[in-house]
């Protein structure tokens, strides 16, 4: 099985100094090593953006897809090879904006795979426009008068739409991020991990300090029960914040919001998917019965 250093036999990261992507990269490699996949047992699919650029920095069996379309590409892999764990790396514009429709439908499908969203609340690669998760009233080159819309609520949407593992972390805490990744990877079902990932270059508002002052672990709430979908949704609604909120009036829960075990995965409900589907093309299928039905 590959170690962190083996996975690093790739190109040198080009993220800006201080980018939260470095912490996420570190956490993912360590989580993969800890879970113990061999190279033959997992595949990673990336979308496009600074999150997607991570494709060049991780040696594995990977697929760097299109902007917004990593989830369907990953689904195509997961639904045709039951021997692969599929990990998807997306950004906030990528996964919640242009790919929002796929996000909705991936949640309700419960395909077993892990989707990690680099949520920096800004478009980094295209130089700082508002993203679907930018806070309301935030001024950016595409919203000089401030963002008018409510931000997308990824945790709320995922819980509402049936994802069976929904977590959010702040990547500043690498060890905790890694532990949540490991739980997500071990989950039998569709796992969503939304990661607060500061962009020091383009988002001067949601900084490391800003997140660090507001984030607290859900598991520190004595009576929080991640098996309750209703509580998870309530908690997701409480996480909205605005640009000016003071740290103690604007708490950002992180950790596992919702986890439901034992829900049949999409793959488990496909009896024909008992081996990689390329094996269906070893020889021509017999069409006798299919043609008889048309006679």
Partner 1 sequence: MARIGERRTKDVSIRVGGPAGAGIKAAGQSLSRTFMREGLWTMDLTEYPSLIRGGHNAITVRVGPEPFHSHAVDADVLIALDQLTAEKDLCWLVEGGAVVYDPASVTGEGWPAHVRKVPVPLDEIAKRNGGVIMRNTVALAASLALLRFPLEPFEAALHAQFDSKSAEVAEGNVRAAREGYAEAAKAAADFPLRLAPVADAPERILVDGNDAFCLGGLAAGIGFYAAYPMTPASTLLHYFARHEHDGVVVKHVEDEIAAMNMVCGAAFTGTRAMCATSGGGFSLMVEAFGMAGVTESAVVVGVFSRPGPATGMPTWTEQGDLQFVIHAAQGEFPRVVLAPGDREDAFHLTWQAFNLADRLQTPVVLLGDSYLSDNRQSVLPFDTERVVIERGKLIAEGEVHDYLRYKDTPDGVSPRALPGVKGAEQLVNSYEHDEYGWGQEGERAEVRVQQDEKRMRKMDLALALAPPPVTFGPLAADVSIVSFGSTKGPIRDAMDELAAEDVTVNFMQIVTCWPFPTAEVSDFLGKAKRSLVVENNYTGQFEQLIRQECLIAPDDRLHRYDGRMFTWTQIADKVREMARQEAPKTPEVIV
Residues near partner 1 (CB under 8 A) are 10-11, 14, 39-40, 43, 45, 48, 53, 55-56, 59-66, 69, 72-81, 83-84, 101-102, 104-105, 270-273, 276-287, 290-291, 294-295
Helix (H) or strand (E) holding 41: none
Please state the closest distance from residue 63 (CB atom) to partner 1, in A.
5
Q: Which is nearer to partner 1, 148 or 282 (CB)?
A: 282
What contacts 24+ positions apart, CB below 8 Å, involve 259-264?
A: 259/164, 259/165, 259/166, 259/183, 259/187, 259/226, 259/227, 260/164, 260/165, 260/189, 260/227, 260/229, 261/164, 261/187, 261/188, 262/188, 263/110, 263/164, 263/188, 263/189, 264/110
Q: Which is nearer to partner 1, 33 or 213 (CB)?
A: 33
Q: How far apart are CA 22 and CA 29, in angstroms?
A: 11
Q: Which is nearer to partner 1, 24 or 98 (CB)?
A: 98
Q: Which is nearer to partner 1, 78 or 167 (CB)?
A: 78
Residue with tokens 């270059």: 201
Q: Which is nearer to partner 1, 53 or 177 (CB)?
A: 53
Please state the closest distance from residue 15 (CB atom) to partner 1, in A.
12
Q: Which is nearer to partner 1, 85 or 231 (CB)?
A: 85
Please state the closest distance from residue 46 (CB atom) to partner 1, in A.
9
Q: How far apart are CA 174 and CA 49, in angstroms?
A: 21
Please state the closest distance from residue 103 (CB atom) to partner 1, in A.
10
Please state the closest distance from residue 11 (CB atom) to partner 1, in A.
6
Q: How far apart are CA 154 and CA 132, in angstroms?
A: 10
Q: Which is nearer to partner 1, 86 or 254 (CB)?
A: 86
Cα torsion through 251, 252, 253, 258, rounded to 10: 130
Cβ atoms of residues 11 and 56 within 8 Å: yes
Please state the closest distance from residue 55 (CB atom) to partner 1, in A.
6
Please state the closest distance from residue 274 (CB atom) to partner 1, in A.
10
Please state the closest distance from residue 65 (CB atom) to partner 1, in A.
6
Structure tokens at 112: 């077993």
Q: How far apart are CA 280 and CA 139, in angstroms?
A: 54
Q: Which is nearer to partner 1, 72 or 128 (CB)?
A: 72
Query: For residue 102, which of 192, 197, 229, 237 has the smallest C-alpha distance?
Result: 192
Q: How far apart are CA 9 and CA 52, in angstroms?
A: 17
């Amino acid at each position: 099985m590959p170690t962190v250093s083996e996975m690093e036999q790739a190109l040198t990261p080009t993220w800006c100094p201080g980018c939260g992507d470095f912490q996420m990269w570190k956490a993912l490699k360590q989580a993969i090593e800890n879970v113990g996949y061999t190279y033959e047992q997992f595949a990673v699919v990336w979308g496009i953006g600074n999150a997607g650029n991570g494709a060049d920095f991780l040696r594995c069996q990977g697929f760097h897809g299109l902007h917004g379309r990593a989830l369907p590409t990953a689904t195509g892999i997961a639904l045709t090879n039951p021997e692969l764990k599929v990990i998807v790396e997306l950004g906030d514009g990528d996964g919640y904006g242009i790919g929002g429709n796929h996000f909705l439908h991936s949640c309700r499908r419960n395909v077993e795979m892990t989707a990690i969203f680099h949520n920096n609340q800004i478009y980094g690669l295209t130089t700082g426009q508002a993203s679907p998760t930018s806070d309301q009233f935030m001024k950016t080159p595409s919203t000089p008068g401030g963002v008018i819309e409510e931000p997308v609520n990824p945790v709320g949407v995922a819980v509402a739409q049936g994802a069976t593992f929904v977590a959010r972390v702040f990547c500043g805490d690498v060890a905790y991020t890694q532990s949540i990744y490991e739980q997500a990877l071990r989950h039998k079902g569709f796992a969503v991990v939304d990661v607060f990932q500061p962009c020091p270059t383009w988002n001067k508002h949601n900084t490391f300090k800003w997140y660090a002052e507001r984030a607290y672990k859900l598991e520190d709430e004595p009576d929080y029960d991640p098996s309750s979908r209703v509580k998870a949704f309530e908690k997701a609604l409480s996480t909205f914040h605005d640009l000016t909120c003071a740290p103690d009036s604007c708490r950002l829960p992180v950790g596992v919001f919702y986890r439901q075990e034992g829900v049949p995965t999409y793959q488990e409900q496909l009896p024909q998917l008992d081996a990689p589907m390329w094996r269906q093309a070893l020889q021509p299928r017999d069409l006798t019965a299919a043609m008889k039905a048309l006679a």
